[in-house]
Structure 1
Amino acid sequence: MRIAVFPGSFDPITKAHCELIERGLGLFDQIIVAVGVNASKKGLLAREERLQLIRDVFPAKAEKVLVQSFTGLTVDFCKQVGAHYILRGIRNTQDFEFENAIAQNNKLLAPEIETYFLVSQAGMGHISSSIVRDVLQHGGDISSMVPATIIPYLKGKI
């Protein structure tokens, strides 16, 4: 079975994340959305809230899209869950530079694990969880950036 880990903070999950997961399902049999903690980011949602919101977005694909939390190195988590692939999204050249450095280090740490980059689909490259949080906190419309199923929950967080 081709299992990929899609790591991130997902605070909150965005339409861009969902689009990458959907496209990733064409490459992998199963994707584990791995919710980690990024100490450098100010969070909106608790980890358990993020896990549940992601599950709520993919209820019909619960066997193909698993959602788990993790701490530590992504490659160590991959080994724990039997994944040989890491899925990452690229929005722009800055993302590429950052993600490439991580992928190269991951390859040194775990040569058996490959990183796959998917370039954002047209119209998705501007979306990030940070921007969603900022727009939400200032009362803006986030409907074009996040799945409709989570909007009522997010609006209750401001």
Structure 2
Amino acid sequence: MNIKPIKTELDYENALSRLEVIFDADKDTPEGDELEILSILIEKFEDEHYPIDLPDPIEAIKFRMEQMGYNQVDLAKVVGLKSRASEILNKKRKLSEKREQMLKAVFADEPRIEVIAYEGLTVEFCKKIGAGYMIRGIRTVSDFEYEKAIAQMNHALEPEIESIFIVSKPGYSSISSTIVREILKYNGDVSQFIPKEALAFL
């Protein structure tokens, strides 16, 4: 076994050729050991010279929407407003100060929950604060498809951060921010649909 560092394209091509020859080598044999070491060297060279860009979560959403024949209007049905869908697709959506204060009021008596506003990718924020899990609520099939695309891309970006989906109770599955806003628009009573602490912010 004569293995040298892979420093040039010629070294790389020779290593690939040798890899093809010993690809089926048995483990714990001289050729098996050579295969293992050669694979590591090839991977290191490829990482340095042929890096693969990690997928962007928003681009993943756009790709999934294209696959399913969805447009921005369809996304708006999921997230509530067409303007919000536009903000998401253009990576401009962030937590408003009013919504931040509302969430703090809702969870004021829960010491285990901290409300923090942030900008950028959620997975990057999780990494910053040392969070290992993201918990997402699922009401409908469209929610699942939407969240699944994001979860898959987040996993590609940060494999150690897991997404956990929690399905809503049947009685809550039909409630959406769009419907609540429509009721509010016509001065309807929404107290049964949202936490009482949030009413003061509407």
Q: What TM-score range do you get, normalising by the shorter chain?
A: 0.5 to 0.7
Pair 1:47-2:47 in alignment: no
Higher helix proportion, which one?
2
Normalization by structure 1: what TM-score?
0.65
Question: Moved runs in structure 1, 4+ residues, more than 6 A?
Answer: none
Amino acid at match of 1:115: S
Show the counterpart of 1:12: none
Pair 1:57-2:106 in alignment: yes
- Among 127, 133, 157, the alignment partner of 1:85 is 133
Show the counterpart of 1:66: 114
- Among 169, 182, 190, the alignment partner of 1:121 is 169
The Cα RMSD (Å) is 1.7
Instruction: Return the alpha-carbon distance in structure 2 between the equivalents of residues 56 and 40 of structure 1.
Output: 28
Higher strand proportion, which one?
1
Show the counterpart of 2:65: none
Amino acid at match of 1:92: T
Deviation at 1:65, TM superposition (A): 0.8
Amino acid at match of 1:95: D
Equivalent residues in 2 for 1:7-156, closer than 5 Å: 38=84, 40=86, 47-61=96-110, 63-154=111-202
Instruction: Return the alpha-carbon distance in structure 1 between the equivalents of residues 163 and 120 of structure 2.
Output: 17
Deviation at 1:80, TM superposition (A): 1.0
The count of corresponding residues between Structure 1 and Structure 2 is: 112
Deviation at 1:122, TM superposition (A): 2.1
Amino acid at match of 1:80: K
Higher RCO (C-alpha under 8 Å, 6+ residues apart) = 1
Instruction: Return the alpha-carbon distance in structure 2 between the equivalents of residues 47 and 81 of structure 1.
Output: 20
Segments of structure 2 that go 5 or more residues without pairing to the other structure are 1-83, 88-94
Amino acid at match of 1:137: K
Q: Secondary structure at the match of 2:193?
A: coil
Segments of structure 1 that go 5 or more residues without pairing to the other structure are 1-37
Normalization by structure 2: what TM-score?
0.52
Amino acid at match of 1:132: V
